[in-house]
């Protein structure tokens, strides 16, 4: 149990990176809600470079968030016994899954009647925490956790050719390994509830387990120069793996790149790696970049880093609240634009307040995103200060 004297020490570079990806993440959520026509940003036959990169930049968010959750789990374990840490992870994992289903999904879908449950990044983090907690309960060493994480991280793409198609298409296949995101094939109805599996669990568990192992370089007393060297070697190593394997279409992503009508579209094809389920090359590109950023920002201190850190200290609070803030803005703009109550439900969509013709240009999307992050600043700063000055047990679950 966390005692009053066990003061939590925050690591500025982790808070900075986490805050940065939380801000970027909101771009994607605002785009999903407000972009006119909801075009697919990664469809190279119809997208534009600006729309593509609006989506591509947000690819770095979920992997970094999950990886840093693993780092934070290791650091939290430094203040607890193995049994206490295992129990904490199990309880927090189940708590996060409940939050995903009953709170976050309601915010994503503007759905108080519980018609849709969406399993996204919070589900992946919660499920991964449960599995990590079980490994700790079995007294798995850091080496064993790293080996299991490495096998999931580097080897899960092999299953595409080894597992029968019938299993890949099943609900349990989608849940654990093969989800292609919130598509028609990954939506299952249970009673009156549509369950949308956006994140397959085990590939993301590999990310968290490796994050847990990397947490060891942030132990108190660990040499800062050695930590930077480890982060850079591994970061550039993953980026090198991405460039070589992607360049020759060797392994690690089911969607190969190829030459298109223009050099620019060909370049976009090269970057257009697979997130659902997260491929090795997707993870190498994103986690590799995150490690390099961590290495070079350990001593960064300026106005921009201070702002990012405000959000990075309270990522769960920010994540949940920003969905509902987006909802409020969505509903207000819905009526301001002249839509009526009769148009709240669209028979062509699982979501409400999304009539045909709804939305704004990409410029409007960025303006709404800026409004969201500015409004969230004060609440995040307040809650960060509250957590810093209070030690109630429930704060460790937020």
- Total of domains in the chain: 1
Q: 219-258 burial by CB neighbour count: b if 16+ within 10 A, else e?
A: eeeeeeeebbebbeebbeebbebbeebbeeeeebbeeebe
* Spatial distance between the Cα atoms of 245 and 255, rounded to a whole number of angstroms: 12
In this predicted model, what pLDDT tens digit does every residue of 232-257 receive, in sequence order? Answer: 999 999 999 999 999 999 999 999 99
- 369 in any annotated domain: yes
Q: 22-58 burial by CB neighbour count: b if 16+ within 10 A, else e?
A: bbbbbbbbbbebbbeeeeebbebeebeeebbebbbeb
Longest Cα pair distance anywhere in the chain, in angstroms?
63
- 220 in any annotated domain: yes
10 Å Cβ neighbour count for 151? 13
Distances (CA, A) of 134 to 97, 127, 159, 277, 339: 16, 11, 24, 24, 50
Question: What mean pLDDT do residues 8-25 have?
Answer: 91
**Which own/partner contact pairs does 95-101 have at CB distance under 8 Å and 24+ positions apart?**
95/126, 95/397, 96/122, 96/123, 96/125, 96/126, 96/129, 97/122, 97/123, 97/126, 97/127, 99/126, 99/320, 100/126
What's the pLDDT band for 350 if we cut at 50, 70, 90?
A: low
**pLDDT for position 6:** 42
- 7 in any annotated domain: no
Task: Decide if pLDDT at 112 tops 90.
Answer: no
Contact 311, 380 (CB under 8 A): yes
In this predicted model, what pLDDT tens digit does every residue of 69-80 receive, in sequence order? Answer: 999 999 999 888
- 6 in any annotated domain: no
**pLDDT for position 185:** 65
With 0.85 as the threshold, say if the pTM is over it: yes
- 217 in any annotated domain: yes
**Tokens describing residue 393:** 């047990």
**pLDDT for position 211:** 98
**pLDDT for position 397:** 74
Question: What mean pLDDT do residues 55-59 have?
Answer: 97
Contact 205, 73 (CB under 8 A): no
Residue 81 sits in which domain range? 12-397
**pLDDT for position 8:** 56
- 4 in any annotated domain: no
- 32 in any annotated domain: yes
Question: What mean pLDDT do residues 381-393 have?
Answer: 88
Distances (CA, A) of 188 to 103, 118, 391: 19, 11, 41
Phi and psi of 221, rounded to 5°? 95, -10
* Spatial distance between the Cα atoms of 96 and 98, rounded to a whole number of angstroms: 5
In this predicted model, what pLDDT tens digit does every residue of 306-336 receive, in sequence order? Answer: 999 999 999 999 999 999 999 999 999 999 9
In this predicted model, what pLDDT tens digit does every residue of 113-160 receive, in sequence order? Answer: 788 889 999 999 999 999 999 999 999 999 999 999 999 999 999 988
- 264 in any annotated domain: yes
């Amino acid at each position: 149990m966390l005692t009053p004297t066990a003061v939590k020490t925050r690591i500025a570079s982790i808070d900075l990176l986490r805050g940065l990806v939380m801000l970027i993440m909101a771009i994607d959520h605002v785009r999903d809600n407000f972009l006119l026509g909801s075009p697919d940003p990664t469809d190279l036959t119809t997208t534009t470079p600006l729309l593509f990169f609006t989506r591509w930049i947000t690819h770095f968010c979920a992997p970094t968030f999950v990886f840093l959750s693993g780092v934070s789990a290791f650091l939290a374990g430094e203040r607890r016994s193995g049994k206490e840490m295992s129990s904490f992870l199990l309880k927090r994992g189940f708590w996060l899954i409940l939050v995903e289903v009953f709170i976050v999904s309601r915010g994503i879908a503007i759905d108080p009647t519980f018609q849709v449950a969406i399993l996204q990044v919070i589900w992946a983090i919660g499920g991964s925490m449960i599995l990590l907690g079980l490994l700790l309960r079995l007294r798995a060493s850091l080496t064993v956790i790293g080996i299991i994480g490495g096998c999931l991280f580097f080897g899960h793409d092999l299953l595409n050719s080894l597992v029968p198609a019938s299993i890949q298409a099943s609900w349990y296949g989608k849940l654990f390994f093969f989800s292609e995101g919130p598509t028609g094939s990954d939506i299952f109805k249970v009673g009156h509830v549509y369950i949308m599996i956006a994140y397959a669990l085990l590939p993301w568990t590999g990310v968290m387990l490796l994050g847990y192992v990397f947490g060891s370089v942030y132990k108190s007393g660990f040499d800062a120069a050695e930590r930077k060297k480890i982060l850079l070697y591994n970061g550039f190593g993953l980026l090198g793996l991405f460039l070589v394997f992607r360049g020759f279409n060797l392994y690690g992503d089911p969607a190969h790149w190829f030459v298109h009508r223009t050099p620019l579209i060909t370049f976009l094809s090269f970057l257009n790696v697979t997130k659902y389920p997260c491929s090795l090359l997707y993870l190498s590109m994103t986690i590799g970049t995150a490690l390099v950023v961590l290495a070079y920002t350990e001593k960064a201190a300026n106005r921009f880093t201070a702002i990012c850190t405000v959000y990075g200290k309270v990522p769960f609070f920010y994540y949940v609240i920003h969905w509902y803030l987006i909802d409020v803005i969505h509903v207000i703009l819905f009526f301001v634009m002249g839509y009526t109550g009769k148009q709240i439900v669209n028979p062509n969509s699982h979501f409400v307040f999304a009539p045909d013709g709804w939305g704004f240009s990409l410029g409007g999307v960025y303006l709404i995103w800026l409004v969201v992050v500015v409004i969230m600043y004060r609440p995040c700063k307040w809650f960060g200060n509250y957590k810093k000055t209070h030690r109630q047990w429930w704060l460790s679950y937020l």
